[in-house]
Amino acid sequence: MNFYPSTTIVNRLVEIEVERMLPTADEVTVRMNQEVSPVQVIARAKRNQGFTILNGSELLNVSAEDVPKYLAVEEGTTVRKGDPLLVRKGRFGRKQEVVAPFSGILIQVRRGYLLFERQPRLLELRAMVPGRVSNLNPTRGASIKTWGTQIQGVWGSGREGYGTIKVLTNSTKGVP
């Protein structure tokens, strides 16, 4: 069971240190004491998207031993979505193709199966606040110091965002 405190704490004009880290980063793009904007990318990482096994013998309707004869690319080749992986020429100039279901690398062909690694997805970590880099973790990201009003409460949408909170009324009776 989740606990959500009903208290909201507001601290006006305080120095805030925001830690922005990835589990692992391939590249940290900022340096110590650098000024950053909210939309500035401070770290990047490639995330593995997994593997897929294609049954080449079933897709071409040939024996597992014959699959290597129909390979259009070599093992270890990077291909884009839609590129032919297997091509079987038929009668009367017709051909049957098995195409890459997504971009990636053909890792190996064994017993009629094609092991295919999906192309990694690039993650970009943005600062999300204006400020100055106060601490640097060269393998994960950075901490950023900024000034603002700190509002502590519970709310979530499952996404990240930044912006200015506008006061719509000074009344305690609600928004008109």
What CATH number corresponds to the domain at position 104? 2.40.50
Instruction: Tell whether 16 is covered by a domain.
Output: yes
Per-residue model confidence (pLDDT) at position 5:
57
Kindly state whether residues 72 and 21 are assigned to the same domain: no
In this structure, is residue 68 part of a structural domain? yes
Whether the model clears a pTM of 0.85, i.e. scores above it, the answer is no
| Buried/exposed code over 132-162 (b: 16+ C-beta within 10 A; e: otherwise) | ebbebeeebbbbbebebeeeeeeeeeeeeee
Identify residue 148 by its one-letter amino acid code.
G
What is the DSSP-derived secondary structure letter of residue 112? T
Q: Which domain holds residue 60?
A: 51-119
- State whether 30 and 70 are in the same domain: no
Query: Who contacts 113 (Cβ-Cβ below 8 Å, separation ≥6)?
Result: 53, 54, 55, 56, 57, 64
Instruction: Check residue 148 and give its pLDDT.
Output: 87
Q: Is 145 inside a domain boundary?
A: yes
* Statement to judge: residues 115 and 56 lie in one domain: yes
| Coil/strand/helix, residue 67 | helix
Other CB atoms within 10 Å distance of the CB of residue 93: 6
103 lies in some domain: yes
Same domain, 113 and 57: yes
Task: Give the separation between CA 99 and CA 73, rounded to whole angstroms.
Answer: 11
Nearest to 142 by CA among 11, 58, 32, 26: 32
Q: Encode the chain (176 residues) as per-residue pLDDT tens digits.
A: 565 556 778 888 899 999 999 988 789 999 999 999 999 999 999 988 899 999 999 998 899 999 999 999 999 999 999 999 999 887 787 888 989 998 999 999 999 999 999 988 999 999 999 999 999 999 899 999 999 887 777 666 777 776 777 777 777 666 55
Which three-class secondary structure state does DSSP give residue 17? strand
Q: Are 117 and 105 in contact (CB under 8 A)?
A: yes
Please give the pLDDT value at position 3: 58
The reported pLDDT for the residue numbered 106 is: 92
For residue 124, tell me if it sits in a domain: no
Give a yes or no: residue 133 inside a domain: yes
Same domain (yes/no): 71, 36? no
What is the total count of domains within the chain? 2
The pLDDT of residue 41: 96
Query: Same structural domain for residues 56 and 115?
Result: yes
Q: Which stretches of the chain are assigned E, i.e. beta strand?
A: 9-21, 27-28, 35-36, 41-47, 51-55, 78-79, 84-89, 95-99, 104-110, 113-118, 121-126, 131-137, 141-152
Q: Is the residue at 35 inside a domain?
A: yes
Q: Is residue 148 part of a domain?
A: yes
> Looking at the structure, do residues 60 and 39 belong to the same domain, yes or no?
no
